[in-house]
């Protein structure tokens, strides 16, 4: 069983950074088709997730005092991404309860008034993409940070 202290810390850190981005950008840039919203948000979210997975894996190395193996790195990175995806989903449940669906009107694939199906697709897309991208980023980072067999002997 993976110690959940690091995944919780870095998953919530990623989620708080993404939440801050959403709130600041939505309050400062009112045009939902702006370059800040369309390419800026996904770029920021992905860079933030990549960096926090890297930082989480480096902290895990420091905690154990040695390089981790590839499998442990992937597990930790996916756990960070799971916490991030879950926290962001809960954040957007709150946004839907407070703001309603008006923020979704400009999202790709949503025309006009979002339906319950559009909302469900958005939540599933957010959570699943956090996990899939977390797996990809964890694999890449773990490949470069993991202990090699030649180092063990």
**For range 12-26, the mean pLDDT:** 94
- 107 contacts: CB under 8 Å, gap ≥ 6: 114, 122
pLDDT at 65: 81
**Higher pLDDT among residues 28 and 114, named by residue:** 28
Q: Measure the CA angle with vertex 77, ends 3 and 129; round to 5°.
A: 130
Using an 8 Å Cβ cutoff, are 36 and 29 in contact?
yes
pLDDT at 21: 93
- 14 contacts: CB under 8 Å, gap ≥ 6: 48, 49, 52, 80, 83, 84
**Higher pLDDT among residues 7 and 149, named by residue:** 7
pLDDT at 106: 60
């Amino acid at each position: 069983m993976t110690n959940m202290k690091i995944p919780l810390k870095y998953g919530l850190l990623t989620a708080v950074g993404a939440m801050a981005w959403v709130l600041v950008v939505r309050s400062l840039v009112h045009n939902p088709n702006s370059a800040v919203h369309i390419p800026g948000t996904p770029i920021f979210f992905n860079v933030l997730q990549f960096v926090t997975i890297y930082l989480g894996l480096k902290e895990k190395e420091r905690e154990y005092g040695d390089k981790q193996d590839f499998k442990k790195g992937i597990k930790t990175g996916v756990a960070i991404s799971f916490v991030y995806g879950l926290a962001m989903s809960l954040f957007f449940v709150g946004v839907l309860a407070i703001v309603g669906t008006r923020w979704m009107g400009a999202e790709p694939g949503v025309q006009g008034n979002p339906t319950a199906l559009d909302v469900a697709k958005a939540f599933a897309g957010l959570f699943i993409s956090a996990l899939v991208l977390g797996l990809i980023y964890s694999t890449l980072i773990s490949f470069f940070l993991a202990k090699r067999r030649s180092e063990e002997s």
